[in-house]
Amino acid sequence: KAGVTQTPRYLIKTRGQQVTLSCSPISGHRSVSWYQQTPGQGLQFLFEYFSETQRNKGNFPGRFSGRQFSNSRSEMNVSTLELGDSALYLCASSFGAADTEAFFGQGTRLTVV
Amino acid sequence: GQSLEQPSEVTAVEGAIVQINCTYQTSGFYGLSWYQQHDGGAPTFLSYNALDGLEETGRFSSFLSRSDSYGYLLLQELQMKDSASYFCAVRSDSGAGSYQLTFGKGTKLSVIP
């Protein structure tokens, strides 16, 4: 079956703009988590959605938001982009929120100039 | 809060054995996972330990000591393709029956001939 799909793969935006990233989980998976990855900082948790409800949120400013649709697809939005938002944004899906294995997409590489 | 410590870089010779350690501080601990990420790739699940002891999967083994808040990933018969970043991740209870996966900053393993 198809893996986790993230679109777009690459994105260049200007400071102050906003951006929306998309994640389609593996078919049947209901839990979607988002992570920001920067060099030397590992994967930092943004938020997790399960059955259209945000269940967890990391320590990111309110400029970072997300949502999940009834088909489990998820989007995250970053408003008023800053240079420091340049990162690889990864999405991971699992069948249930309690699953021990998360399946990651290839990520969206966001560059803010 | 949650924190994980792992070495930033490790170099080992092809055919040898390498151990990557991970110490953590967290509340609501459920288990420790390990993920592998090749440059430009998505993180992929390697193992999960919920109980003390050693779990073996082929050339890879993972160990957990809950009392010491410590775990390690052991890679045997190293191959060049094992050159990648390895992340430990704590799965913890974030309340209301939901779980959170918190990642360390990763260990970059370089396998040399």
Q: Do B42 and A90 touch (CB under 8 A)?
A: yes
DSSP character for A100?
S
Question: Scanning every residue of chain B, which has its alpha carbon at the shortest distance from the alpha carbon of A48?
Answer: B100
Q: Is B48 on the interface with A (CB under 8 A)?
A: yes
pLDDT tens, position by position, A8-65: 999 999 999 999 999 999 999 999 999 999 987 889 999 999 999 998 889 999 999 9
Q: Which of A55, A57, A88 to mutate to test the interface with B (most CBs of B within 10 A)?
A: A55
pLDDT at A98: 64
User: Is residue B98 predicted with pLDDT exceeding 80?
Assistant: no
User: Is residue B96 predicted with pLDDT exceeding 70?
Assistant: no
Q: Do B106 and A45 touch (CB under 8 A)?
A: no
For A89, other C-beta atoms within 10 Å of its C-beta total: 23
Residues 6+ apart with CB under 8 A from B72: B19, B20, B21, B22, B62, B63
pLDDT tens, position by position, B15-51: 999 999 999 998 889 999 999 999 989 999 999 999 9
